[in-house]
Structure 1
Amino acid sequence: MGSCFSKHPTSENFSTEVKVARYEGPVVVELFSSLGDANSPEAEMLFSRLGRGDFKLEMPVILLAYHVDYWNHMGWKDPFGSSLWTARQKAYAEALQIDDLYTPQAVFQGKAQCMASVEDKLLSRITSAPRYPGLEFQATFQRPTENSLQVTLTGHLNSDVDSHGVDINVALYENGLVTDVENGPNIGRVLTTDYVVRKLAKLSSVKNISADTPISETLKFALWDGFDSSKCGIAVFLQNDSHHIFGSQDIKLPKDLQVKEEEE
């Protein structure tokens, strides 16, 4: 994701701290799609190209792909589809006053949307989206067990938060997923997808704090079979009750994150 990616200093094999310098904030683009929808693969390819920097955008972007589950009736079940992501799309539809759910849909900073498979519209929405100060967190990753990931974030929001408050959300995503589609509209295709959200959790809720107020919080994710830290990253973003996103940060996981060994 261009300049969003962070550097990874050497640390213990089971714990890695990532330091990220202050930078102008990125645009969060959320894709709602399904591998069971004939129109979604084109949007997924555009998403991958955005992540590679093919379009030479002036602003960094944070990409999150949510696979919905309402296309599963077409004869094939998207292995990454979830009712949680369908519910998230429904919440955006209500906030943006959209009558019907559809895929592929892109949502920009929680404030605007368009058909995600139309390249010109997608790029135009990104370049016109509002931008906010980027978050400034250090991340420490640990694997207490084979099936869990612990993330500790310490730093500042770089924006004042008023009495209305915001949630600090963390999405865990995975790149380089290859799927053989065995049925449905995309039968016979081998589809590669990136930035697929596997987990989403609220780190904390904050209000009435200044931009430089120190924050330190920890959360834990349950992991899936075949988890590979070298293919994963987290997106941290502030979101209010209106679903608007006001600041964000992308952090790649270390490539060789190991399970913490028990101390004798």
Structure 2
Amino acid sequence: MVMASRISLWLAALALAFSAFAGAGHAGESEKMQVEPQADKPLGVVELFTSQGCSSCPPADAFFAELATKEDIVALAYHVDYWDYLGWKDTLSRKENTERQYDYMRAFGSRSVYTPQAVLNGRIHVNGANRTEVDGALARMARSGEGMRVAIKVSRTSDRVIIDAGDAGTGPSDAHVVIVYFEPPQTIKIAQGENSGRKMTYWNAVTGIQTAGMWHGKAQRYELPISEIVKKGGCAVLLQSAGKDGMPGPILGAAFIHKP
């Protein structure tokens, strides 16, 4: 009963998020777009690097579950694989998630990776279990212009998803349009390793990342086949700048992509 309630909460929150971040399309489309009122600049993006085999991660996973239900946060969980040797293979881990964390490590000039690590807006990292640090940093970045500066509006027709990225104003003028796919919440019983005996519910576990295009500081439109979106459990778009070496940089805009 408790789990059913939590799943219902997630579905309701995700519906609100989609409603909040979907946007109106341009006039004159050949097909009528399905759009809703939107707030196209969420407070921020939280990327949690976690593992089912990490004894320090359950508090961060619980806090992340709260973030995932907030309509003004784009929350994504990347399960990494480097703790699998401790006796339990993370059922949601992906090598690509570990690679993304190592890319952030190099971008930040860090000497090592750790879990639970929360990367906020692609700009800083903090302990993912420390809600005071996470909430405080998101608020500070929003006030200082390091939050979501570029509007991202999402709409769809019968056969495609349309992403409209706004103008840059000032600051970085080149970024990747990154599509991140994730799972709906699921409960895992951990049978071995440091968290043996625990039953955990994991939210927004990332299953794939792809670059859909480049953005150069001016308003631009991108289209994706809707057939690709419906195959996934959930989907978000990040407008993320990158360094000359290809390492991930600040996230300038973000939104959830509404599944039909």
- Structure 2-normalised TM-score? 0.76
Partner residue in 2 for 1:64: 76
Deviation at residue 125 of structure 1 after TM alignment? 1.6
Q: Is 2:138 the partner of 1:126?
A: yes
The question of whether the paired residues in 1 share the 8 Å contact of 2:53 and 2:90 is answered with: yes
Partner residue in 2 for 1:234: 235
1:42–1:61 distance in 2 versus 1, CA, 3 Å: same
2: CA distance, partners of 1:141 / 1:114: 41
2: CA distance, partners of 1:103 / 1:140: 40
Task: Tell me which stretches of 4 or more aligned residues in structure 1 moved more than 6 Å.
Answer: 220-223
Partner residue in 1 for 2:63: 46
Q: Is 2:86 the partner of 1:74?
A: yes
What are the ranges of 5 or more consecutive residues in structure 1 without an aligned counterpart?
9-15, 54-58, 143-150, 255-264
**3-state SS of the aligned residue for 2:62?**
helix
The question of whether the paired residues in 2 share the 8 Å contact of 1:105 and 1:116 is answered with: yes
**3-state SS of the aligned residue for 1:240?**
strand
1: CA distance, partners of 2:226 / 2:80: 23
1: CA distance, partners of 2:134 / 2:105: 18
1:27–1:125 distance in 2 versus 1, CA, 3 Å: same
The question of whether the paired residues in 1 share the 8 Å contact of 2:154 and 2:161 is answered with: no
2: CA distance, partners of 1:140 / 1:173: 22
RMSD value, Cα: 2.9
1:163–1:237 distance in 2 versus 1, CA, 3 Å: closer
**Paired residue type of 1:84:** E
Total equivalences in the alignment: 226
What are the ranges of 5 or more consecutive residues in structure 2 without an aligned counterpart?
1-12, 23-32, 244-248
Deviation at residue 220 of structure 1 after TM alignment? 7.8
1:188–1:222 distance in 2 versus 1, CA, 3 Å: farther
**Structure with the higher helix share, 1 or 2:** 2
**3-state SS of the aligned residue for 2:19?**
coil
1: CA distance, partners of 2:52 / 2:239: 28
Q: Trace 1:1-12 onto structure 2 (pairs within 5 A).
A: 4-6=17-19
1:133–1:186 distance in 2 versus 1, CA, 3 Å: same
1: CA distance, partners of 2:135 / 2:39: 25
Decide which of 213, 233, 236 is 1:204's aligned counterpart: 213
Partner residue in 2 for 1:31: 48
2: CA distance, partners of 1:218 / 1:47: 29
1:190–1:63 distance in 2 versus 1, CA, 3 Å: same
